Structure 1
Amino acid sequence: MSENVQSAYREEQTKLSTVLEEIGTQLERLRAIPVYTGHDFTEQVLEAGREERRQRLMKSEPEPYFGRMDFEEAGKNKPSALYIGKAGLDNLEPGSLPIVVDWRAPVASLFYSFTGGEEKVEYEAPEGIIGGEVHLKRNIMVRKSELERVVDTYVRGSEEPAVSDEFLLYRLGENKDNRLRDIVSTIQAEQDQIIRADKNKALIIQGVAGSGKTTVALHRLAFLLYQYQEQVSAGKMIIFAPNSMFLDYISGVLPELGVGDIQQRTFTDWAAKLMDVESMLANPAETLDLWFGEAGGVAPGDDAPGRFKGSAMFRDMLDAAASALEASGAPELEFSPWEDAVLPYETILHWYREEYKHYSAAGRKERVLARIHRWIEMELKSVKPESLRKEYKKKASAREKAYAKKWPDFSPLTLYKQIFGALKDTRGILPEASFAEIPASIIKSTRADLKSGRIREEDLPALLYLHQKLNGVDGIERFDHIVIDEAQDFSPLQVSVLDRFVRGHSFTILGDLSQGIHAYKGVHSWSEMSDLFGEHETSYHALTRSYRSTMEIIGFANAILAGGVQDAIQAVPVFRSGNKVRLIDFGTENEHGGEQMVTQAIRGLWGREHKTVSVLTRTQTQASKLYEVLKPIFPELNLIDGSMTQYEGGLSVLPLHLSKGLEFDAVILADAGLKQYGESEWDAKMLYVGCTRALHELWVLHGGELPKFLHDVEAWSEVGLPE
């Protein structure tokens, strides 16, 4: 350890002791104040503030900060040492600088954006642009209140080379457990730009595998809550993720950042509950095994049910159907509750079309029928004698019910059934020509599903679109911000629907087109998303640097893209080297060769330094069969399927599509042979997803011949088991 490093370490050890003492002092003062449990509102607010500070101090104590930046503001004659942490820590002395600056504060942006050099820098603060000079940038690792590491990434005037990647590489080299962790201490400049972007825009983020896009989106939520605390609330934010297990995997990040109450759902669960159709949902595993079960197929086209039902064309058809139903409105009948009492059709139509035109169609129907009921009550008051009034009231009640049944049903499911012919359009509202472009195969299969009382995930966006068209969106259902993860698997219609549930187009839409393995329902180009918004309502960002895997694994995965996917964006790895990828042929003679080789591969990887090892198969059925074979040999093995709500870590076997978004210390691809994966672009994307789950080690098993996009991987791989 050099003298400069030793000096920096001693300096930071002294500083840490001082900060920890201050945290202890402030905690002691707060704990000395009796907790208020009364009913006085003012005192309740004060107590809530004190409890929030108690919790923040206790959370800060093990790791009060992670960085230091010495910044000399323009017009001042010396730099100030600013310590950056997950939570701010105020100095109780009036007029003093904070002891720790919150990472989301404007000045902290310099810690992430500054990469060296002696040029002047600036940041945007509420009071305007503030400029100055950076004298020192230092990464500091504190764990359990103990100083572990000090790395200077910039020292002004120093002749020693910058070591800006040393701290990052140190953190990346750590093994993973069963949870995604925050990256607040290692946020890179391009990631910070996304995190701090304006709220009222739809951010579209194309991020290669391992670029940290999910984590960046979660940090963006924490930033928005800090920056716009008077305009947004955590309870009005939502994250849409691909499955419940992935939600569990990312669940620790926001609490680590001091953020709670943000909703985390799958689109399917949220939409089905909103419309109360959970019991009608078909098992998604049927669709998944249908699409992933065959190798060598052609990637689904626009006539695939999910692609068509999620398209802008189908949205226009739904618009036409909803508009036709809304226009049909009030039945062309006058209403007579009894003889000599008549409410003209023209009056009813005026109420529906004019007086209540600002309501949804269903809302207008409700209000018109309520107004008719009030009109009946008013008319009854003039009827005499009492005996006649009772007779008229009984007759009016029966006629009122009969009249209400003549109104159209504004249920989205009813209209959807009529569109596909699963329910007869008795009023002749929907012109058949409007739906002539729906492929016959889709009409046939959807009609059969609907008649049997079953809806599929691909139907939910359309049903929800009709729901908001016919029923409107309640204010309490609107969000301040929406995050869509794995957005390449969303359809344009899904995003179009969600745009009606969020204020100001406030989205963070993130994904990777090269991981678009759900091509039967997702987008093939980001323009399908951006075209939904106005010219100045979107912002596109590309994250091309991968922080997850070693150079060898990234090189191997890039070779797959180069050989199998047109115009794919390749990942740029950080300089972290490891073992070459293992290509292991288990042959085709022995029908159990693959199972035996997987067993050997697990023995070669599990139980060493790796905490998480996964075996990836093409389908859920294959994963289940392999699990039955391996479980007696490896009792600790976990089987992961679509019903899982938690990822337990350790040793697991799972279908490739469920691995998206997850990462493991080591990955074993059970069979990447030509028989399993074929040579289509879709197959290449699936193998790319599987390979890029690995952080440190990747073993690719195959029975016989490999797909063509695995032919040019010699530079990154070795053949056979290690000696």
Structure 2
Amino acid sequence: MPGRAAHGGATTTASPIGADAAGADVLTAERAHLAAAREALRRMREHAASLSADMAADWVSRMYLESLLDQRVAALADHPDTPLFFGRMDRDGGQDRDSPDDEPAGKRTGESAEQSVEEDELTTMYVGRRHVHDDGGDRRPLVLDWRAPVCRAFYQAGPADTMGWRTRRRFGFRGGELTAYEDEPLDAPVHTSALLTAEIERPRTGPMRDIVATIQPEQDVIVRADLGRTVCVQGAPGTGKTAVGLHRAAYLLFTHRERLARSGVLIVGPNRAFLAYISSVLPALGEVRVDQATVDDLLGAPTGTEPAEASAVKGDARMADVLRKALWRHIRKPEEGLVYTSGVARFRVPDHEVREIAAGLRGTTRYAAGRDMFAQRLAHRILVLMEQRGGAPDDRVQDQVARSRPMKRLLDAVWPKVTPELVLHALLSDADALRAAARGVLTDEEQAAILWARPPRSHRSAKWTAADRALLDELGDLIERTRSLGHLVVDEAQDLSAMQLRALGRRCASGSATVLGDIAQGTTPWSARSWDEVLGHLGQDGEVTELAVGFRVPGTVLDFAADLLPHIAPGLAAPRSLRPGAGALTVRPSGDPVGDAAATVRGLLELEGTVGLIVPDAAVGAHAEALTAAGVPHGVLDRESTGDGDRLQVVPATLAKGLEFDHVVVAEPAAIAAAEERGLARLYVVLTRAVTTLTVLHAEPLPAALRAPAAP
């Protein structure tokens, strides 16, 4: 039995059937349900806005309650161009319930119903981005949040296991208006959904959209993984790995809201343009308070540069051992004991006891905690001496001794206060200090690569590089513990150094992570060669899942780019696309790539969707000038911009990762490949940013690894 789709009064499927009145009647009933749900959501938001925090017992509680209420109101916002529901499930006897008045009521009441609706309570359910109920006494659910356990069937039910449901209905929308529906009998062979395909291929404008209406079964398994599990997703271009990671964050926040509200969730992306691109996804799903950051935001923006050889050594995991040794070398051998005077009495801890206490603590705890413990143990030894002389000191006396001037002098001499900057400056400025800390860990050549040729006068005047920032973070954790979050989502993780991964791992040490990336898209000198390596540096035991089927990148484009895989990631199988993409790829020689690119993008702007002109970094200025001279409106992406406001973006090749455009023009692929050590991997990234069409313009021959497509 084929699936059935209706558009207005006409019906179409994979096997089209004619128009009928029944389809129009169903659409009328479903539109009535949509109107009722929107009205109910409006009342829910008004009710939330009317609540007051004045009942709180104190000012702090009132501020906290007000914040929660504000979040609740924001989460209930109705976006008129976004459908409240996108699917419906019916059991036997439920298929004819096309009026919202026929919906069954849930047994439970209150907001907990968002998570606790039982499957056996429903014969029909609508699946949407957030929970909506009416304001009757039973608070009947009009729309169920896609994350509720009962809604798993919408994504997972099929001929192999109908999960107790008979029919899945998908809806088509234009803006916020319901325009079509398609029914799929769950006990029949799987067919290609016209509405699903149309939604996947729909041109995009502005930021990334959520994929909640098109999540595939294999993606849903990842999204609903338990909070305690770290999941690593190896995803080829266009497989939706980024969207899966964001939807997992939304699912975990829904399922473990109270716990994660305390511990926090953080999304880490490669650059600001990427974060801006994904910024609308979680708010569209009702999650309005999730932090997003780049690695530079977390570790500190670099203020200096250095050769790639130095960065590669500093990014190596062995540097953790070097830093640990360098830090603990700041503890000095005591030259004298501790003398404490109380009234006319003098109490002395001899130097050999001071050495024993320091040696017993050295390296067993964090540096700052060890300094405090060193003072307390010395103070306790003084208390023992006081008791031996007949005194009766208590804890207050011990604290007084620990804070005394003689104790401070001894601490500064033996266990001085340090900062990460001070320790790293001392290490990189002094060949002898570096040799002592790196002995048996780094080779002489590696030490020479990271030793400063012209050390800054002090750590305050040092220009720290991106690699240095990760080392400073490591030292910071050796001195004082880094706070751990409840869950961390890391995208493009294959490009992070071992030391950067260790820094992120500290931020989920007591939580879990979702690790996303593609080994084939590794473009840094220290890019990971395996996900086991990445998980090891993060300090997480996780399972690796592969997404190899692309939904967004046309097949002809993906096949063209896949020629590079044997050269950049020989262990990976070539991805495949569900979209053949006939006519999506154009590769042509050009005597004037800059001028031809301007003319090409002008034509593409007449089509629907976004346009990305991706060029070698050194050619960005020339292309931008050509577009300006031709009167073509455009934006230019850089490391600080977000790419908002212009349908056409000129994109440096090094910033293309993670982005997506309906139409992509790539100028001079050979120059992109030749610009850096892993240039072919960069080119693979660039060639897979297209959703609808890819045009490649080249004056220089294509890289040898890239075969020109056969003429049609």
- Does the alignment reach a TM-score above 0.5? yes
- Separation of aligned partners in 2, 1:180 and 1:421: 46
What amino acid maps onto 1:495 in structure 2? L
- Separation of aligned partners in 1, 2:332 and 2:256: 42
Question: What CA deviation, in whole Å up to 9, does each residue of 1:621-650 have, x standing for no partner?
Answer: 321233234322235122222232444341
What does residue 449 of structure 2 align with? 442
What does residue 623 of structure 2 align with? 626
8 A Cα contact 1:69 1:138, kept in partner: yes
- Compute the TM-score of the two structures, normalised by the length of structure 2: 0.80
What does residue 127 of structure 2 align with? 84
1:454 corresponds, among 456, 463, 469, to 463
- Separation of aligned partners in 2, 1:561 and 1:665: 23
1:21-420 to 2 correspondences below 5 Å: 21=36, 23-24=38-39, 27-28=42-43, 31=46, 35-37=50-52, 39-41=54-56, 55-59=74-78, 63-71=83-91, 80-92=123-135, 98-114=141-157, 116-117=158-159, 119-121=160-162, 132-142=163-173, 145-152=176-183, 154-156=184-186, 162-233=190-261, 236-272=264-300, 281-283=302-304, 304-322=309-327, 324-325=328-329, 328=331, 331-336=334-339, 342-345=348-351, 348=354, 360-366=366-372, 368-369=374-375, 397=405, 400-401=408-409, 404-420=412-428
CA shift for structure 1 position 261:
1.8
Mark the CA change 1:365 to 1:564 in structure 2 (over 3 Å): closer, same or farther: closer
- Separation of aligned partners in 2, 1:32 and 1:485: 38
- Separation of aligned partners in 2, 1:230 and 1:365: 36
What does residue 467 of structure 1 align with? 476
1:556 corresponds, among 553, 560, 567, to 560
1:471-490 to 2 correspondences below 5 Å: 471-473=480-482, 477-490=483-496
CA shift for structure 1 position 529:
1.6
What does residue 651 of structure 1 align with? 648
What does residue 609 of structure 2 align with? 611
What does residue 661 of structure 1 align with? 658
1:540 corresponds, among 529, 534, 544, to 544
Question: What CA deviation, in whole Å up to 9, does each residue of 1:354-409 have, x standing for no partner?
Answer: 699985211231454588799999999x9xxxxxxxxxx9xx85894476245345
Question: What CA deviation, in whole Å up to 9, does each residue of 1:312-358 have, x standing for no partner?
Answer: 33333334444x438x4673431346795534345555765669998
8 A Cα contact 1:27 1:54, kept in partner: no
Mark the CA change 1:562 to 1:6 in structure 2 (over 3 Å): closer, same or farther: farther
Q: Is 1:495–2:501 an aligned residue pair? A: yes
What amino acid maps onto 1:171 in structure 2? E
What percent of counterpart residues are identical?
24
What does residue 528 of structure 1 align with? 533
CA shift for structure 1 position 420:
3.2
CA shift for structure 1 position 657:
1.4
Mark the CA change 1:698 to 1:95 in structure 2 (over 3 Å): closer, same or farther: same
8 A Cα contact 1:361 1:470, kept in partner: yes
Mark the CA change 1:405 to 1:261 in structure 2 (over 3 Å): closer, same or farther: farther
- Separation of aligned partners in 2, 1:667 and 1:521: 28
- Separation of aligned partners in 1, 2:19 and 2:139: 29
Mark the CA change 1:350 to 1:630 in structure 2 (over 3 Å): closer, same or farther: same
CA shift for structure 1 position 513:
1.1
Secondary structure of the residue that 2:499 maps to in structure 1? Answer: helix
For structure 1, which runs of at least 5 residues remain unmatched after alignment?
A: 122-131, 273-277, 292-303, 383-392, 588-592, 719-723
What amino acid maps onto 2:211 in structure 1? I
- Separation of aligned partners in 2, 1:76 and 1:143: 30
Question: What CA deviation, in whole Å up to 9, does each residue of 1:18-72 have, x standing for no partner?
Answer: 4533542574487479835563228969988877665555427752211011146
Q: Highest relative contact order (Cα 8 Å, sep 6+), 1 or 2?
A: 1
Question: What CA deviation, in whole Å up to 9, does each residue of 1:69-128 have, x standing for no partner?
Answer: 11469x9999711110111123555668622111001121111122x32x444xxxxxxx
CA shift for structure 1 position 425:
4.5
What does residue 105 of structure 2 align with? none
8 A Cα contact 2:587 2:708, kept in partner: no
What does residue 518 of structure 2 align with? 512
Q: Is 1:640–2:661 an aligned residue pair? A: no
Aligned length: 648
Mark the CA change 1:422 to 1:350 in structure 2 (over 3 Å): closer, same or farther: closer
Mark the CA change 1:552 to 1:364 in structure 2 (over 3 Å): closer, same or farther: same
Mark the CA change 1:5 to 1:672 in structure 2 (over 3 Å): closer, same or farther: farther
- Separation of aligned partners in 2, 1:33 and 1:408: 54
Mark the CA change 1:502 to 1:155 in structure 2 (over 3 Å): closer, same or farther: same
Secondary structure of the residue that 1:149 maps to in structure 2? Answer: strand
- Separation of aligned partners in 2, 1:565 and 1:681: 14
- Separation of aligned partners in 2, 1:76 and 1:185: 20
What amino acid maps onto 1:641 in structure 2? D
RMSD: 4.0
Q: Is 1:570–2:574 an aligned residue pair? A: yes
Q: Is 1:585–2:589 an aligned residue pair? A: yes
Question: What CA deviation, in whole Å up to 9, does each residue of 1:152-180 have, x standing for no partner?
Answer: 2x22566xx75443222201222222301
2:32 corresponds, among 7, 17, 28, to 17
Question: What CA deviation, in whole Å up to 9, does each residue of 1:468-492 have, x standing for no partner?
Answer: 122223xxx3210111110010123
Mark the CA change 1:679 to 1:138 in structure 2 (over 3 Å): closer, same or farther: same
What amino acid maps onto 2:513 in structure 1? F
- Higher mean alpha-carbon deviation, 87-96 vs 609-618, is at 87-96
CA shift for structure 1 position 187:
0.5
Q: Is 1:696–2:692 an aligned residue pair? A: yes
What does residue 3 of structure 2 align with? none
Mark the CA change 1:603 to 1:351 in structure 2 (over 3 Å): closer, same or farther: same
Secondary structure of the residue that 2:31 maps to in structure 1? Answer: helix
What amino acid maps onto 2:338 in structure 1? F
Secondary structure of the residue that 2:84 maps to in structure 1? Answer: coil
Mark the CA change 1:39 to 1:355 in structure 2 (over 3 Å): closer, same or farther: farther
- Higher mean alpha-carbon deviation, 8-17 vs 686-695, is at 8-17
CA shift for structure 1 position 551:
2.1
What does residue 602 of structure 1 align with? 601
- Separation of aligned partners in 1, 2:277 and 2:657: 11
